[in-house]
Amino acid sequence: MFKDLFQKKRKYATIPSDRVGRGAEPGESERPRREVPEGLMNKCPKCGTIQYSKELEKNLKVCPNCGYHMRLNAMERIHMILDEEGFEEFDSGMVSVDPLQFPGYGTKLEQQKMKSGLREAVITGQGTIEGLPVVVAVMSFDFFTGSMGSVVGEKITRAIEVATEKDLPLVIFSTSGGARMQESILSLMQMAKTSAALSRFNEKGGLYISVITDPTTGGVSASFATLGDINIAEPGAVFGFAGRIVIEQTIRQKLPDDFQTAEFNLAHGQLDLVVHRKELRPMLYKLLEMHSVKGGY
């Protein structure tokens, strides 16, 4: 019986090598090529840990090994923060045009729409967090690096005005590469427009919570992203106005390795809180509840 057990061989399926029939040398090691479905695995850009994409999504796209917070697009952020039911989007049909006839801009806009699945770099609307009403504006870096053009500024301004009119708290999630250069001065004007709208909102006593995500730079960081009553950032998020290289060349000094990170800015008084993504929704609910008044805000 034992003799038969050890002599009997199991049958294995053989996967032919891609080199079979293409002149492989006799005796040369042939390793079959295995195709991995695209998107099945994900590699952390910080520590290199490879993990299943579905497991990463369950962990809110935070690396379980090093805690690196990967970027979320606008819809992912909305699903993560707001209650499942009741989200009402504002100005969904508003899209950018090419007012200055900038070479290639119109084509790039169409490419960005196809690539990201979005119509612009920000989604605005009204929803609830644990039942508490809130107006939100959520930027997305995967549409034109979250750059702020006329439409982004206009949509955010309108969202602020809705919050002002309805006396609702406002939460803006920022991520941006700065102003959209293809719209020149029209883009730069959005800094003043959004800031002025926030000033009117503040005069009426509205609560504005700014959530800064990686990265937030340029005109967005110099306007509404840093004007919150409470300024929060995700761990490791980079934000500031000019980039590291530009600053170092200007001041002719070497900057700290953690310069412009959320932790650096918190230590130097530019932030109120650094909140892990898993704790962000509970923290926002807590802040909204603390500032709420029975029957309204």
pLDDT band at residue 27 under the 50/70/90 scheme: low
Question: What is the structure's pLDDT at 6?
Answer: 45
Sign of CA dihedral 65, 68, 72, 76: positive
- Structure-block tokens of residue 253: 């000094």
Is pLDDT above 50 for 295?
no
The per-residue pLDDT for range 58-100, each reduced to its tens digit, is: 999 999 999 999 999 999 999 999 999 989 999 999 999 999 9
Of 8 and 193, the one with more pLDDT: 193
From the list 286, 270, 191, the residue with the least C-alpha distance to 233 is 270
Question: What is the structure's pLDDT at 33?
Answer: 59
Is pLDDT above 60 for 9?
no
The per-residue pLDDT for range 137-169, each reduced to its tens digit, is: 999 999 999 999 999 999 999 999 999 999 999
Cα(39)–Cα(155) distance, rounded to whole angstroms? 32
- Which letter, b or e, does each residue of 58-84 get, where b requires 16 or more Cβ atoms within 10 Å of its Cβ? eebbbbeeeebbbbbbbeebbeebbee
Q: What percent of the chain is predicted at pLDDT more than 90?
A: 82
Give how far Cα 175 sits from Cα of 38, 132, 178, 219, Å. 27, 24, 9, 11
244: helix, strand or coil = helix
